[in-house]
Structure 1
Amino acid sequence: MRIVLAAIIALSFAPVLTATDAFAQATCRNKCNSEEQSCLSRTNNKSQCGSKAQQCMAKCK
């Protein structure tokens, strides 16, 4: 009975962790987009800023 109860509790937390991960990824992507926009306003170099943004987004996973 305890094993079943433990499994139910563990499964009930799974969606919360997934939602938290999704929120963290979205926050990270927003940060990367903000940094890219800031870079573009400073340098007007889409190539340089775009590659930095891609590197940043790769870390969001």
Structure 2
Amino acid sequence: MPALFGHSLGALVAAETARMLEGRGLEPRRVGVSGRPAPGVIGGGGALHPAMTDDHIMDRLTG
């Protein structure tokens, strides 16, 4: 069975696909997700640094 990976909304799709496959006895080799809280986490999200403006972030990134 291949591995699954998803980012953001794709993370939810990968996790749900893995759950569906496991229910049918087909376990993915690995499931990798990023850019989204774990399926059991309620709430969360939001900006990591809400006080930082886009200009401030760009200044930090471009030095």
User: Shared fold by TM > 0.5?
Assistant: no
What is the TM-score when the length of structure 1 is the normalising length?
Answer: 0.35
Bigger share in strand:
2
User: Larger C-alpha radius of gyration, 1 or 2?
Assistant: 1
